[in-house]
């Protein structure tokens, strides 16, 4: 499955592949999206609020691999949300499914070529602080991308300047103004929202107790298996990024360092339970999204 669409020694292929996907999507819906939404595990409900939707199955889009995980649909929903033209990915691609990092970010690159200048991405994550609760929302302020730091990075290989620069900065990867807006919307609506650092692991196994202690010690507040490749590609392409984690399980139930064992079904259920609040938050942000 992996590796058939993208050759790492020829990044022209990445641009060609993203352009072909973008052309196909434009043929289904000519409205250019301003915001790309990536809806994580159990968090796809927001797509149902999109007005005048045009739904495109990933399976129909050139070079989009089919998603493989329970709880991840696999459809692009184009339309307007709170008056904002959006393209929402219901279902995303993960490293643990066997896709290359370039394949993981390929749909986002297509949405960028269609005109999206902002990425709003959500995910399910494990909370690393005993003070957190399942269902809490966390606005990602920074990340630690263990796979991307160690070579599983979507920007590896020759750089294609049409996407962005060779050495993009990640200093303010999570747009401060968008984060401030998210916190403001959350406060106005009584939605608890904290900021924090998201650590990405490749998965698919959940972490060992020693790995969790390590992640906590290096300053992570949440751990998950997605998002960082897309954020890196988005910043490479000059997009603004807002990322919200839904903490589906709290790993340390106490500060003594005894981790609770996560369960995929519980993770999906907790994300679904928090979906309405997260949807309200994102809708509120979209309503007041400043022009970049």
Is residue 108 at the binding interface for ligand HPA, with CB under 6 A as the rule? no
Is residue 251 at the binding interface for ligand HPA, with CB under 6 A as the rule? yes
Distance of closest approach, residue 49 Cβ to ligand HPA, in angstroms:
24
Distance of closest approach, residue 201 Cβ to ligand HPA, in angstroms:
6
Is residue 64 at the binding interface for ligand HPA, with CB under 6 A as the rule? no
Residue (100 or 123) nearer to ligand HPA, CB:
123
Q: Which stretch binds ligand HPA (CB under 6 A): 28-36, 141-149, 247-255, 277-285?
A: 247-255
Is residue 128 at the binding interface for ligand HPA, with CB under 6 A as the rule? no
Residue (99 or 206) nearer to ligand HPA, CB:
206
Q: What angle do CA 90, 93, 95 make, to 5 degrees?
A: 155
Which of 43, 105, 215, 225 is close enough to bind ligand HPA by CB under 6 A?
A: 225
Which of 61, 76, 110, 125 is close enough to bind ligand HPA by CB under 6 A?
A: 125
Which residues ranging from 151 to 180 are in contact with ligand HPA (CB under 6 A)? none
**DSSP line for the chain:** -TTSS--TT-THHHHHHHHHHHHHHHHH--SPPSEEEEE-TT-GGGGGG-EEEEEEEGGGSTTPPPP-STT---EEEEEEETTEEEEEEES---GGGT--HHHHHHHHHHHHHHT--EEEEEEEEEE-STT--TT-EEEEEEEEEHHHHTT--TT-SS--TTT--SS---TT-S-HHHHHHHHHHHHHHT--EEEEEEEE---SSPPPHHHHHHHHHTT-SEEESSSHHHHHHHHHTT-EEEEEEEEEEESBSSTT--BPPP-HHHHHHHHHHHHHHHHHHHHHHHHTPPP-
Is residue 248 at the binding interface for ligand HPA, with CB under 6 A as the rule? yes
Is residue 223 at the binding interface for ligand HPA, with CB under 6 A as the rule? yes
Which of 267, 268, 285, 286 is close enough to bind ligand HPA by CB under 6 A?
A: 267
Is residue 134 at the binding interface for ligand HPA, with CB under 6 A as the rule? no
- Report which of 202, 238, 241, 206 is spatially closest to residue 100, judged by C-alpha positions: 202
Distance of closest approach, residue 228 Cβ to ligand HPA, in angstroms:
12
Is residue 249 at the binding interface for ligand HPA, with CB under 6 A as the rule? yes
Is residue 124 at the binding interface for ligand HPA, with CB under 6 A as the rule? yes
Give the residues lining the site for ligand HPA (CB under 6 A).
Answer: 124-126, 206-207, 223-225, 248-249, 251, 262, 267
């Amino acid at each position: 499955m992996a590796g058939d669409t993208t050759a790492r020694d020829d990044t022209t292929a990445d641009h060609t592949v993203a352009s072909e996907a973008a052309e196909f999507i434009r043929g289904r819906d000519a409205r250019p999206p301003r915001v790309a939404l990536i809806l994580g595990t159990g968090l796809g409900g927001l797509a149902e609020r999109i007005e005048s939707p045009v739904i495109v199955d990933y399976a129909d889009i050139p070079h989009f691999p089919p998603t493989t995980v329970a709880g991840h649909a696999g459809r692009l929903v184009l339309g307007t949300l709170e008056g904002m033209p959006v393209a929402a990915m219901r279902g995303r691609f993960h490293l643990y499914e066997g896709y290359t990092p370039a394949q993981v970010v390929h749909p986002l690159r297509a949405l960028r070529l269609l005109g999206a200048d902002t990425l709003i991405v959500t995910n399910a994550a494990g909370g690393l602080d005993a003070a957190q609760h399942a269902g809490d929302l966390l606005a990602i302020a920074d990340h630690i991308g263990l796979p991307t730091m160690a070579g599983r990075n979507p920007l590896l290989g020759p750089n294609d300047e049409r996407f962005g620069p060779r050495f993009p900065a990640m200093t303010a990867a999570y747009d401060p103004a968008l984060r401030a807006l998210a916190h403001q919307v959350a406060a106005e609506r009584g939605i608890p929202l904290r900021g924090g650092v998201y650590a990405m692991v490749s998965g698919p196994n959940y972490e060992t107790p020693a790995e969790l202690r390590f992640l906590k010690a290096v300053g992570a507040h949440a751990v998950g298996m997605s998002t960082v490749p897309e954020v890196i590609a988005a910043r490479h392409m000059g997009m603004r990024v807002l990322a919200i984690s839904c903490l589906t399980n709290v790993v340390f139930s106490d500060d003594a360092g005894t981790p609770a064992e996560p369960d995929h079904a519980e993770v999906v259920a907790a994300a679904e339970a928090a979906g309405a609040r997260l949807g309200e938050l994102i809708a509120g942000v979209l309503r007041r999204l400043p022009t970049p």
